Amino acid sequence: MTEFEAVIGMEVHAELLTASKMFCGCPTTFGAAPNTQVCPVCLGLPGSLPVPNRRAVEFVARTALALHCEISPRSIFYRKNYYYPDLPKGYQVSQYGDDPIGRNGYIEIVVGGQTRRIGIRRCHLEEDTGKLFHVSPQTSEVDYNRSGVALMEIVSEPDLRSAEEAREYLVQLRAILTYLGVCDGKMEQGSLRCEPNISVRPKGSAAFGTKTELKNLNSFRAVSRGIEYEIERQVAVIRAGGQVTQETWRWDETRQVTAPMRSKEFEQEYRYFPDPDLVPMVFTPDWVQTQQESLPELPRQKQLRFQEQYGLPAYDAQILTETRALADYFEAAAARHADAKAVSNWVMGELLGRLNAASLDISESKVTPEGLAGLLDLVANGTISGKIAKDVFEEMFVSGKAPEAIVQEKGLTQISDEGALATTLDAIIAANPKEWEALKGGKEQLTKFFVGQVMRATKGRANPQLVNDLLKQRLAS
Amino acid sequence: MRITSEYVGQIGRLSRLALTDAEKERLTTHLNAILAHFERLQELDTTQVPPTAHSIPMENVFRDDTPRPGLTPAEATAAAPESAEDMFVGPRIVET
């Protein structure tokens, strides 16, 4: 049977974190009461004139540079004309053609140990639409608070080959946007939206199959599942002798399937033309240089540095750099505790595990980097065992207390008193003569039994190394 | 290029205009006359002229990212044909 491969391109829209809208001074606060953040410009009232937001332009240029794009020396705004109630002017101000702010860049992603470069075709600036609410069978209501909010569009080349790669692309892109502070990356709130174009073709074929566009992917999980489902659907259509038709499909989160949206009766004709109300933007090499120099360390650079500086595996580095806050947390803890791999293990394991289970962000963690480093110090210097450390961590997570205080309060310090442990061990040997004879007879797996019994008798506080040593001494005598 | 009545219908639909057959015929004639004029203009050799998007020689006009109050919901919806509870109300349109 013919093997198929998927060809995926991603179109991502990111709402920019500007305080005011793209072409007017209306505020952009999320969740404000309907139509409280509107003015004649974003309502498209006659006679109003737009003036672009300087910061939004800088945000897009900085993103473009972080995506290794070239900056167009001259970039203009176009009108994209279509009629829909969420678009009060009857056109969306967007960019078109070969002069978007940024073009021809790439993102590096690592999937299955392979590093791949995914091309970025364009990175441009436009404006968001209003929001429609369908409240009755006859009417729709419109809130224009979002109308005119600065929106960045990032279009990739069709370089992605699986749902996993598409997801990773989005993870990396989101990380870049949040590192730059240009977008909050909240998919569930719609401030980061992604619309993949998906087609399939026989493996090895150079030609592209017919693509469909997928909408309504509101989480990373939906992105993975939706794309996987759509790939399988297209392969099934072709295997059954059918043809994929070019149309838009919608991911149905409740039913976990894709469903076709009403196919457009006419090919949309947007009649793009340069917006006469908005003058061209000209970017000098000096200005571009200033933007370039303002870029912070980006996720990919940080990943490579974490591998180099802390000797971490690529996997750890990738997880720890997904958000700037998490990376900062790790570095703060690693600065206080020498064993960086131990810090990484605890951050990725216990900390992220508990945060996820409690739906908390790293910024809300009661366990501070100092606290975590202190806990690991206690394990490293033998004050507590690794097992007890997990209990202490749990207590820290809930109460936010310092590890030393918890260990003190609960009397959890490790018992490293040889005399005390010897007494306990001897009592256990006396109580289990059969097992002791078997161990002496060479049944080595019983070592674990005796160590375990001592741990139990001391509520996990015995120093396991010392118990092992004592056991060996007694076997040798 | 010749514009057909079907094409006028299609543009009308994209513009959400319900055109009658008589209107389509009339517009077809008008639009073709306009295009004929542009065909005359196209006889000019403009290969040496850069495309002009704007007639005024200005660039980089920006404003600072400073929010300022706009209209109240009542003012915003004042001219709307229909509104309810600070929302604009129109015929139901769902892109499904």
Distance from B6 to chain A by nearest Cα, in Å? 12
Q: What pLDDT, on a 0 to 100 scale, did the predictor assign at position A263?
A: 55
Under an 8 A CB cutoff, do B59 and A55 touch?
A: no
What does the longest C-alpha to C-alpha distance in chain A come to? 100
CA-to-CA distance for A451 and A476, rounded, in angstroms? 16
Q: What pLDDT, on a 0 to 100 scale, did the predictor assign at position A326?
A: 94
Under an 8 A CB cutoff, do B71 and A43 touch?
A: yes
Closest partner residue to B14 (CB to CB) among A53, A137, A266 is A266
Domain match, A270 and A406 both: no
Q: What pLDDT, on a 0 to 100 scale, did the predictor assign at position A264?
A: 53
Q: Which of A222, A256, A290 is the last residue of a domain?
A: A290
Angle in degrees, 0-180, between the axes of helices A433-440 and A446-457, rounded to the nearest 10: 140
Which two tokens mark A31? 């969740």
Q: What is the mean pLDDT of residues A133-146?
A: 90
Q: A250 forms bridges with which residues in the sheet?
A: A215, A259
Q: Which of A364, A388, A410 is the last residue of a domain?
A: A410
Domain match, A99 and A81 both: yes
Domain match, A307 and A346 both: yes
Domain count, chain A: 3
A338 Cβ under 8 Å from any chain B Cβ? no
CA-to-CA distance for B31 and B10, rounded, in angstroms? 14
Q: Which of A355, A385, A410 is the last residue of a domain?
A: A410
What whole-number percentage of chain A has pLDDT above 90? 61
Distance from A355 to chain B by nearest Cα, in Å? 35
Domain match, A285 and A304 both: no
Which residue, chain included where needed, has tokens 């974190």?
A17
- DSSP per position, B75-88: HHHTT-SSEETTEE
Give the lowest-confidence range in A79-83, A118-122, A471-475, B39-43: A471-475
Q: What pLDDT, on a 0 to 100 scale, did the predictor assign at position A262?
A: 60
Q: Is the pLDDT of residue A413 over 90?
A: no
Domain match, A265 and A358 both: no
pLDDT in tens, A170-211: 999 999 999 999 999 999 888 999 999 999 999 988 888 999
pLDDT higher at A256 or A231: A231
Domain range annotation of chain B = 1-41
Domain match, A147 and A285 both: yes
Closest partner residue to A141 (CB to CB) among B54, B76, B89 is B89
CA-to-CA distance for A256 and A260, rounded, in angstroms? 13
Q: What pLDDT, on a 0 to 100 scale, did the predictor assign at position A267?
A: 56
Q: A273 forms bridges with which residues in the sheet?
A: A79
For residue A377, the enclosing domain spans 297-410
Q: What pLDDT, on a 0 to 100 scale, did the predictor assign at position B1?
A: 66
B56 Cβ under 8 Å from any chain A Cβ? yes
Q: What pLDDT, on a 0 to 100 scale, did the predictor assign at position A75?
A: 96
Q: What pLDDT, on a 0 to 100 scale, did the predictor assign at position A410?
A: 76
Question: Sorting pLDDT into bands at 50, 70 and 90, what band is B28?
Answer: very high
Under an 8 A CB cutoff, do B93 and A53 touch?
A: no
Q: Is the pLDDT of residue B96 over 60?
A: no
Domain match, A64 and A195 both: yes
Domain match, A401 and A430 both: no
Cα of A170 vs its chain's centroid, Å:
8
* Complex ipTM tops 0.90: no
Domain match, A284 and A323 both: no
Q: What pLDDT, on a 0 to 100 scale, did the predictor assign at position A249?
A: 87
Size of interface A-B (CB pairs under 8 A): 137
pLDDT in tens, A28-82: 998 899 999 999 999 999 999 999 999 999 999 999 999 999 999 999 999 999 8
B73 Cβ under 8 Å from any chain A Cβ? yes
Distance from B7 to chain A by nearest Cα, in Å? 11
Domain match, A466 and A367 both: no
Which two tokens mark A107? 């993102």
Indicate the class that CATH gives domain B1-41.
mainly alpha
Q: What pLDDT, on a 0 to 100 scale, did the predictor assign at position B95?
A: 57
Under an 8 A CB cutoff, do B70 and A38 touch?
A: yes
Domain match, A119 and A218 both: yes
Under an 8 A CB cutoff, do B60 and A279 touch?
A: yes
CB-count exposure of residue A434 (10 Å: 0-12, 13-18, 19+): exposed
Q: Is the pLDDT of residue A416 over 80?
A: no
Question: Sorting pLDDT into bands at 50, 70 and 90, what band is A265?
Answer: very low
pLDDT in tens, A184-195: 999 988 899 999
Domain match, A463 and A397 both: no
CA-to-CA distance for A36 and B77, rounded, in angstroms? 11
In this structure, the strands spanning A248-252 and A212-215 are parallel
B17 Cβ under 8 Å from any chain A Cβ? no
Contact A18, A56 (CB under 8 A): yes
Read off the CATH number of the domain in which A455 is found. 1.10.10.410
pLDDT in tens, A330-366: 999 999 999 999 999 999 999 999 999 998 889 899 9
